[in-house]
Amino acid sequence: MVAKPKSRCCCCTWLIGIIVLIAVILAVVLTFRHRSNHSGDDQPGSIDKKYADALKIAMQFFDIQKSGKLENNKISWRGDSGLKDGSEASIDLSKGLYDAGDHMKFGFPMAFTATVLSWSILEYGDQMASVNLLDHAKDSLKWTTDFLINAHPSPNVLYIQVGNPETDHKCWDRPETMSRNRTLTKIDTETPGTEVAAETAAAMAAASLVFKESDTKYSSTLLKHAKQLFDFADDNRGSYSVSIPKVQPYYNSTGYGDELLWASSWLYHATEDKTYLDFVSKNGEEFGNFGSPSWFSWDNKLPGTHILLSRLTFFKKELSDSKGLQGYKDTAEAVMCGLIPSSPTATSSRTDGGLIWVSEWNALQHPVSSAFLATLYSDYMLTSGIKELSCDDQSFKSSDLRKFARSQADYMLGKNPEKMSYLVGYGEKYPEFVHHRGASIPADANTGCKDGFKWLNSEEPNPNVAYGALVGGPFLNDTFIDARNNSMQNEPSTYNSALVVGLLSSLVTTSSSIESFI
């Protein structure tokens, strides 16, 4: 008896099902391998509750620093403020973020905040999503870039400051009740400010990648502004610290070459337009400071640029041997070697407690930024299958960089001689006298400009907890004085928060890197 065709079809169906199942399994495995470690170190694991909890707290400081008409406000002691900012020039500058414990909006560090927060989302957005914080991060970023867009009303004009710091610092009041004149400061072709224009271009370019899929129109708007601002910065070279001397006591710039390289690097990542890659290749010798590791900060973008461009040599085979990028890659390696404590070229700029320490003012900026860069480089190594980093005659693994990053994060969160968490709201002991006007004044207080100083001088802890604020940090001898008038150690800054969010996001679980932002 001849077998029925139906029987053969059943076998075919069964066989096809097996093949499809195998294909699905292979796809999952390949996807997993793409996002995980090829070398065997730091395989992806479960959520690290310590860092996840700290990240949830750190993200709140962006909400505390918001200016403008607040939406979905979850900070009980914050309300609408700065609603008329920009009216002097008939533009809306009500949004954005207050810089620190005062009510100033400084465009230079605010743009840096947006760039770093964008970078953090691009690299570790999946980590943020795993603890339901990705939307929060994107909302905080957009609140900032909305301000930056409005601050750039025409191609060669950028408003870089809202408020007069001398006037502002003579008051101690809540942002909701301030009534003084909010003067504006701008740069243009006659008053150049290359570093501010370029940093804002970097912020716009990086943010355009963040919103590329979720809001294509907004992404295109950001990229248009980024291109215009880069051209403005490059075509009208001059430091804003020279053009506008009054900025020097607050955010004095040490040069604009690093911002030009930084902005061009981000524009290349956002567009893959070779013009921007050619710029960093041609200008590296002049501005790149090759072979001389330095510290990543709001003023110095070189270490970040070195790491960001080394990303290309890891993931773009056609660029891996590029002579124009070699100086950046070599210097990125030197930066990394300087951070690993057992490296023969390790920096001696550390406290006895193991914290990278460079400056008395805002001491935690450098260890947090260094740790953030270390996790990035570690993940680049993991994803590309590079097993070792050579530091003179010794070799180190990606896990050594991650260990360093965790050491800085742990110090910040309380593993230090003071047993103090410098992230406000985290742990059992953290600063209670943070130098922050809004946190120090009761929300129902009827306080003017001058009489509010009684709250600065009060011996009582702040009535409002500035959750997520990263204070300045310890002295070189690992000591810390929790006093409200100790602004050197106890004042938080918004740009520090962006770095903290990046670092903590990278540590939420072991990770790898996506190979392209586009």
pLDDT digits 0-9 by tens, 62-74: 999 999 999 999 9
Give domain status of residue 145, yes or no: yes
pLDDT tens digits along 426-482: 999 999 999 999 999 999 998 889 999 999 999 999 999 999 999 999 999 999 999
Q: Looking at the whole model, is its pTM more than 0.85?
A: yes
Domain annotation covers residue 182: yes
CA gap 232, 57 in Å, rounded: 38
Query: Could you give the CA distance from residue 425 to residue 246 in angstroms, rounded to a whole number?
Result: 35
DSSP 272: -
- Is 49 among the domain residues? no
pLDDT tens figures, 216-248: 999 999 999 999 999 999 999 999 999 999 999
Element (H, E) at 160: strand 158-162
Question: Pairing mode, if any, of strands 389-391 and 158-162?
Answer: unpaired
pLDDT average, residue stretch 28-54: 57
* Sign of the CA dihedral with 364 first, then 366, 372, and 378 last: negative
pLDDT at 10 over 70: no
Residue 208 CB neighbours (<10 A): 29
User: Quick one: how far is CA 211 from the chain centroid?
Assistant: 16
Residue 187 has pLDDT above 50, yes or no: yes
Q: Which residues contact 184 (CB under 8 A, 6 or more apart)?
A: 86, 88, 89, 93, 159, 161, 162
Positive or negative: CA dihedral 430, 497, 468, 162:
positive
Task: State the CATH number of the domain containing residue 171.
Answer: 1.50.10.10
Mean pLDDT of 268-282: 97
Q: Decide if 375 contacts 18 (C-beta within 8 A).
A: no
How many Å apart are CA 19 and CA 24, to the nearest integer? 9
Q: Is the dihedral of CA 251, 254, 255, 260 positive or negative?
A: negative
**Domains in the chain: how many in total?**
1
Angle among Cα 369, 200, 293 to the nearest 5 degrees reads 35
Pull the structure tokens for residue 43. Answer: 């395989």
> Cα separation of 42 and 39, whole Å?
9
Q: Which of 103, 136, 269, 435 is catalytic?
A: 435
Radius of gyration of the chain (CA): 24
Using the 8-state DSSP alphabet, how is residue 4 labeled? P
Q: Inform me whether the pLDDT recorded for 301 exceeds 60.
A: yes
Residue in the structure block whose two tokens are 């400084």? 106
The answer to whether residue 45 sits within a structural domain is: no
pLDDT of 179: 87
**Within a domain: residue 18?**
no
Confidence of residue 45 (pLDDT cuts 50, 70, 90): low
Which of 437, 477, 466 is closest to 454 using CA atoms?
Answer: 437
Could you give the percent of the chain with pLDDT greater than 90?
Answer: 88
pLDDT given at position 1? 34
**Catalytic annotation present for 269:** no
User: 93-105 burial by CB neighbour count: b if 16+ within 10 A, else e?
Assistant: bbbbbbbbbbbbb
Mean pLDDT throughout 64-93?
Answer: 97
- What is the span of the domain harbouring residue 106? 55-71+78-507
Give the number of C-alpha atoms closer than 13 A to the C-alpha of residue 423, restricted to the C-beta side.
31
Provide the mean pLDDT of the chain. 92
Q: Is 30 a member of any domain?
A: no
**Separation CA 341–CA 381 (nearest Å):** 19
Residues 6 or more apart from 461 whose CB is under 8 A from it?
A: 432, 433
- 39 assigned to some structural domain: no
CB-CB neighbours of 468 under 10 Å: 25
Give the pLDDT of residue 511. Answer: 73
Report yes or no on 225 lying in a domain: yes
